[in-house]
Structure formats: structure tokens, C-alpha cells
Structure 1
């Protein structure tokens, strides 16, 4: 069962550079990168709202704002920052360097979240193998930066 989830995440990960390219192209045709980011987030909102409606899932109500921890609502802000950052930097860095830097950021923050069991993640210590893996990713990003 875990392989199905891993495959799902892998396939979603394959969409990230595609999304970045699409967003960068949208940005070239929009007045500003912020305009492109606005359209991106608006379309995402519409798609998720339609999925809620057609799947029979309850439509989120204002009550959620009262019962959920305040920090848990900042995920939308993170999404907006990610979309804007990716569409703004994709034309400058190119797909490989863009996603390598992004992946390094993800692995760094994920390691911190796991190490301390933050934001609802179970605590998992950074063992030697994980540390070596992170160092290899850093080395890869440095090589990609130098190759530019």
C-alpha cells in the first residue's frame, strides 16, 4: 500500500516542473508575476471547490476558522509564496536548477520537522544516512550552480 502512495507523490512531483514552466509562460503574458500568481491560485481554488461539490465532501465553512489552530491556516500562504517564487524564478534558473534548489529547501525543512516532531509529524532523528543524503543534495546543487 505504501508503494501506491509513493508513486502518487512521485507523479505529483513530476508535475512541479511542468507547473513551473506553465506559470512562467503565463507570467510572460501577464502584466506582472503577481497577476500570473493570482490567476494560478484562483484556478486552484475553483478546481478544489468543484472537487468538494462533486465528491460530496462538505464545503469548508467559517467554523473551520474558529476550531483549527491559527498556524494550520498558513498553508495557503505557503502555497502562494511557492507559486510566486517558482514562476518568478523559473525563467532565470531553468527547470533543473529551479527544482534542485526547491528540493534542497524541501529536504532541509523536512529534516527539521522530522528531527523535532513539529507540525504534527512524528519525531524521526536525522541519522547518518539522512545527513549524507542531504550533503549529497547540497553538493549537487553547488555543481549545478557552477555549471551555469
Structure 2
């Protein structure tokens, strides 16, 4: 994998933490979580739309969209669940504990999805290295959440 891809993934991960903090602050300013989350998604949609228009992204035929498996449509719902959880928990848990929980659960889920090849991932067996990585991640979370 190229260093550019690794760098972009690291930037995206950092921005998830910034997003949680920004949304939490917006929730405090607006007094309630749902308007803050809607603002987040409106700005996000606007950015994606602007990019698509600027780069002249072509839209696939409807037949391709209807051919997608049912679970392929769950990405937006999963993002919304994350958004609600982050906006409700960021100020209570703090950035480090919230992100440690999120990243730990992402790793456990990723290993499970890879192992069984679910939701379109190629099979990558959960060998001892991956299991040990999950254990170390859980230990890291425990250290972050405790101190």
C-alpha cells in the first residue's frame, strides 16, 4: 500500500475525532443533539455534492443500484448511528475514551468481517496475530479509560 494511502487513512481517522468534538460543541451551542447532527450531515452532503459536481462524477444506471445486496445500503444508517452515539457521548466520555471505544470495536468487527468474508470483504482468517492485536487493543482501551 502506498504511503499516500496510509497518510490519507490516518488523516481520516484524526478527522473522526475532530468531528466528534465539533458536533458535541455544536450540540451544546444549539441545546439539543439532533439539529447539530443534521447540520453535520447537511454540510457533509454539500461537500460530497460539490466534489461530485466539480469532478463530473457519472451516475450509474438504476439497474446497477437495484442489483446491490440489501446490506450494501446500510452504510448511511451505520454512519447515522455513529453520529448519534458520538454526539451524545463525546462530552461525557471525552475524546480519548470515546475514540478508544470506537477504534477497539472497529478492530474487533473488522477481524470478524474479514474472517468470515461478510459484507463483501475477502476472507482473511483471524490468525493468532489478529487475535493478539484485538487483545492488545482492548488492553489499550482499558488503560485509556481507566487513567
Structure 2 equivalent of residue 22 of structure 1: 22
Counterpart Cα distance in 2 of 1:9 and 1:90: 22
Deviates more, 1:134-143 or 1:90-99: 134-143
Contact 1:52 1:59 in 2 (8 A): no
Structure 1 equivalent of residue 70 of structure 2: 70
Question: By how many angstroms is 1:17 displaced?
Answer: 1.1
Counterpart Cα distance in 1 of 2:69 and 2:136: 36
Deviates more, 1:1-10 or 1:100-109: 1-10
Flag as ranges the 4+ runs of structure 1 deviating above 3 A.
Answer: 59-65
For structure 1, the 5+ residue unaligned runs are: none
Question: By how many angstroms is 1:136 displaced?
Answer: 1.0
For structure 2, the 5+ residue unaligned runs are: none
Query: How many residues are aligned here?
Result: 147
Distance 1:135 1:35, change over 3 A: same
Structure 1 equivalent of residue 126 of structure 2: 126
Distance 1:50 1:62, change over 3 A: farther
TM-score by length of 1: 0.90
TM-score by length of 2: 0.91
- Give me the CA root mean square deviation: 1.7
